[in-house]
Amino acid sequence: MLYGLDIALIADIHSNLEAFEAVLEKLEGYRILCLGDLVGYGANPNEVIELVRDKRIKCIMGNHDYAVATGDYSELSPKAVIAAKWTRNVLKKENLDFLSTLPLTIRLEEGKKILLAHATPEEPIFGDYIHPDTDPFKFLYYATEYEEDTICLGHLHVPYVYKRLEKIILNPGSVGQPRDGSTLARYAILNLENMNAKVFGVKYNRELSAKKIIEANLPQIFAARLLKGV
């Protein structure tokens, strides 16, 4: 069950503790739903997972979560594999177990029906990177063929809000590694009563997050992305 009409959506935290903490500060008092990829790329996977667990944030599995939980890195890029293997090695057992229990999708209902999936509704883990500007027919298909009033996706690291036929398909962007040209940690607020959604961003100490990545001997491109937003 959902409590309250405003719901916060987050995605793609990617072990970025500073970004996650900054977003959580903004979302104090909100019901938060997470669209996957708690880990990968960044240097604080244990701390991020423990915050999710402590705050009892309902979360689905992303492709990086899957790779770390299973040890199957076949769908990741070579540099992402380096980060995933490092993450799997440093994770506490209880946090690795938590990743393994995350569902692929979640369906919720209280007046309105909501579907949470990481990549796409039909391929939640290994689906393509999709955007309404480049995949208009796919988004029209989701709006017409899926019963949910709102479909919430992650994976792309670029936020959007698509409205069609009184339905919303949204991506809140990335908390921990935005690629929309902004260096802000992204999140979205969904209002079920008015069926409106808006994307927000918050500043955080990205220099510290980048420094931690370098100090962990993770690929430097992951640090550079935090500083450039691409």
Percent residues over pLDDT 70 in the chain: 98
**Using CB atoms within 10 A of its CB, is residue 55 exposed (0-12), middle (13-18) or buried (19+)?**
exposed
User: Angle CA(115)–CA(121)–CA(124) in degrees, nearest 5?
Assistant: 105
- For 203-217, what is each residue's pLDDT tens digit? 999 999 999 999 999
- The pLDDT score that the predictor gives to residue 111 is 82
Residue 126 has pLDDT above 50, yes or no: yes
Q: Are 53 and 102 in contact (CB under 8 A)?
A: no
| Six token digits for residue 49 | 């997972």
The DSSP bridge pattern shows strands 6-10 and 185-191 to be antiparallel
Percent residues over pLDDT 90 in the chain: 91
Q: Are 135 and 158 in contact (CB under 8 A)?
A: no
Domains, the chain, with CATH or none: 6-228 (3.60.21.10)
- For 21-42, what is each residue's pLDDT tens digit? 999 999 999 999 999 999 999 9
- The pLDDT score that the predictor gives to residue 18 is 99
Alpha-carbon gap, residue 200 to 28, rounded angstroms? 14
- The pLDDT score that the predictor gives to residue 211 is 98
Give the E-state strand segments of 49-207 in sequence order: 58-59, 105-110, 112-117, 150-152, 160-164, 167-171, 185-191, 196-202
Output phi, psi for 2, to 5 deg: -100, 145
Assign 4 a pLDDT band (cuts: 50, 70, 90).
low
Mean pLDDT score, 137-147? 93
Q: Are 155 and 127 in contact (CB under 8 A)?
A: yes
Question: How many other C-beta atoms can be found within 10 angstroms of the C-beta atom of residue 79?
Answer: 14
- For 177-191, what is each residue's pLDDT tens digit? 999 999 999 999 999
- For 67-120, what is each residue's pLDDT tens digit? 999 999 999 999 999 999 999 999 999 999 999 999 999 999 978 999 999 999
Q: Cα dist. 10→53, 91, 118, 164, 217 in Å?
A: 15, 22, 11, 22, 27
Output phi, psi for 53, to 5 deg: -65, -45
- The pLDDT score that the predictor gives to residue 3 is 44
Of 87 and 192, the one with more pLDDT: 87
Assign 230 a pLDDT band (cuts: 50, 70, 90).
confident
Alpha-carbon gap, residue 108 to 110, rounded angstroms? 7
- The pLDDT score that the predictor gives to residue 172 is 98
Alpha-carbon gap, residue 117 to 153, rounded angstroms? 5
State if pTM tops 0.85.
yes
